[in-house]
Amino acid sequence: MAEPYRLTATDALTLIRENKLTVESYARSLLSRIEARDATVKAWAYLDPDLVLEQARNLDALPVEKRGPLHGLPIGVKDVMYTKDMPTEHNSPLYKDSLVSVDAAPVATLRAAGALIFGKTTTTEFASTTGGPATCNPHDPTRTPGGSSSGSGAAVGDYQVPIALGTQTGGSTIRPGSFNGVYAVKPTWGAVSREGLKVYSLNLDTVGVFGRSVEDLELVLPVLGVSDDEVTAESAFTGVKGAKFGLVKTSVWNNAGQGTIAAMEKAAKLLKGHGAIVEEIQLPAEFDNMPDWHAAILAGDGRTSFLSEYRRDKSKLSEWLVGQVENTEGYTRAQHLTALDGVASLRPRIDEIAGRYAALLTPSVPDEAPVGLQRTGSAVFCSMWTALHTPVVNVPGFQGENGLPIGLTLVARRYRDEHLLAVAREVGKIFNEEGGWKSSL
């Protein structure tokens, strides 16, 4: 058997179920991986090995009939979600050592299913800025792992934990997914409870999940409550062959670098080579407003969300957040509403468009992870889908000119999350085998 830390969640849970692996030995393997790598990657905001092992032993001691569907699954939790047994600091001095003795809803749900809540992963300040934490990209420590779910993306990419939770308000799940070469899913907005998480934008914030295989995401998402309406046998996805994909460059395509341009071309070619129909789609002109509308929603919502921290002690907030509360960009309430109503009017339209295809294919990021830890990169290709509330999955498999991973995003209409994962599973096999990038970790 390979080192347990290398296992996917699916494989590890199978071994645990078959009594071939204890939760404790699995946890010890992950802890040893972390010990070996933490000085470089720095993915964790809080990790207490004793607490991990204590939980692991409790899980091992649990009678079989009391074990949940995720029994023994180690999960990293972005440090903007409450965990009853660990501090939640939001990468903010205002919350240094703050221990909130309830679990955020998704954490409670996963814990109730038998997950081992492993530790807290690093984030940018309140998951709201692009200024990075100290976390490095495991594939090249001179580069950012992306953000704001920096630690979750890096930890999963570095085999430190099989699954981690993140959030996405702009591109905070998909971007670190791409930069770290892992699968990352942002489900339909509203499908997973955000209770107990820091709020940046009520209209945009969404819980995300990172994993190294689609099967692993398919293990976790139904537990979190994600489920589609039933579909007829005829409309179910049965494979890439004969399936139709819509290639969407969007109005921000001029941000795509060589790595992403090449990945999009190669992806289309690979899908066609496997018998899919790939059509390039020009979205209606109204969709060109999406970047401005996303920015206006963020500004209007941020003005509300950080008021309490601002009033408590604005000297402990970054300049960016002070600016949000003070509305230095000068957005009016009317502009905020125009953006909210505009995006709302496009949601049924993108559903209709996406519904014609197995999935839409669109960039995740401009290119591979940039050098430097100061900035976590651009959300330009993600923010539109976040605001449209559609489910998106980052599928890795391509690479940039420096050999760093590049993923692409698959999009489905709202509440077609299970369908989208089924598509991502098949597409992912192709991208992984023929896209050109493999993790060397």
Q: How far is the CB of 364 from a second copy (least distance, A)?
A: 25
Q: How far is the CB of 257 from a second copy (least distance, A)?
A: 35
Joined together, the tokens standing for residue 288 give 């060109």
- CA dist 234 to 230, 371, 415, Å? 12, 47, 18
Helix and strand counts by DSSP (H, E) for the chain: 14, 11
Q: Does 333 bind a second copy (CB under 8 A)?
A: yes
Tell which residue, 146, 98, 104, 142, has the closest CA to residue 123: 146
What does DSSP say about strands 392-399 and 244-248: parallel, antiparallel, or unpaired?
Answer: unpaired
How far is it, in rounded angstroms, from Cα 413 to Cα 229? Answer: 12
Residue of 172, 178, 364, 378 with catalytic role: 172
Region of 141-149, 344-352, 365-373, 426-434 interacting with a second copy (CB under 8 A): 344-352
Catalytic residue at 172? Answer: yes
Residue of 29, 92, 148, 383 with catalytic role: 148
Q: Total residues contacting a second copy (rule CB under 8 A)?
A: 51
How far is it, in rounded angstroms, from Cα 199 to Cα 80? Answer: 9
Q: Tell which positions 40-69 bind a second copy, by CB under 8 A.
A: none
User: Which residue in 337, 371, 372, 438 binds a second copy (CB under 8 A)?
Assistant: 337
Q: Which is nearer to a second copy, 226 or 410 (CB)?
A: 226
- CA dist 38 to 31, 52, 78, 295, Å? 10, 16, 16, 35
Q: Which is nearer to a second copy, 2 or 330 (CB)?
A: 330
How far is it, in rounded angstroms, from Cα 155 to Cα 153? Answer: 6
User: Which residue in 198, 212, 249, 266 binds a second copy (CB under 8 A)?
Assistant: 198
DSSP, residue by residue, 33-64: HHHHHHHHH--EEE--HHHHHHHHHHHHHS-G
Q: Does 344 bind a second copy (CB under 8 A)?
A: yes
Q: Tell which positions 234-273 bind a second copy, by CB under 8 A.
A: none
Map residue 133 onto helix, strand or coil: coil
What does DSSP say about strands 183-186 and 163-168: parallel, antiparallel, or unpaired?
Answer: unpaired
108 neighbors 150 (Cβ within 8 angstroms): no
Region of 37-45, 178-186, 222-230, 400-408 interacting with a second copy (CB under 8 A): 222-230
Q: Which is nearer to a second copy, 3 or 195 (CB)?
A: 195
Q: How far is the CB of 352 from a second copy (least distance, A)?
A: 11
**Location of structure tokens 């990657």:** 41
Q: Does 199 bind a second copy (CB under 8 A)?
A: yes
Catalytic residue at 148? Answer: yes
Q: How far is the CB of 198 from a second copy (least distance, A)?
A: 7
403: Cα within 13 Å, side-chain hemisphere: 7
Q: Tell which positions 101-130 bind a second copy, by CB under 8 A.
A: 101-103, 105-106, 108-109, 112-113
Q: Does 231 bind a second copy (CB under 8 A)?
A: no
User: Which residue in 18, 65, 229, 234 binds a second copy (CB under 8 A)?
Assistant: 229
User: Which residue in 148, 203, 324, 364 binds a second copy (CB under 8 A)?
Assistant: 203
Tell which residue, 420, 69, 394, 392, has the closest CA to residue 231: 420
Tell which residue, 409, 420, 405, has the closest CA to residue 364: 409
Region of 7-15, 95-103, 260-268, 273-281 interacting with a second copy (CB under 8 A): 95-103
Which amino acid is residue 132, in one-letter code?
G
User: Which residue in 36, 99, 134, 236 binds a second copy (CB under 8 A)?
Assistant: 99
- CA dist 77 to 68, 134, 424, Å? 19, 17, 23
What does DSSP say about strands 359-363 and 244-248: parallel, antiparallel, or unpaired?
Answer: parallel
Which amino acid is residue 251, in one-letter code?
S
Catalytic residue at 78? Answer: yes
Q: Does 388 bind a second copy (CB under 8 A)?
A: no
Binding residues for a second copy (CB under 8 A):
98-103, 105-106, 108-109, 112-113, 190-195, 198-199, 202-203, 224-225, 227-229, 300-301, 303-305, 307-309, 311-312, 332-334, 336-337, 340-341, 344-345, 347-348, 351, 414-415
Catalytically active residues, by annotation = 78, 148, 172
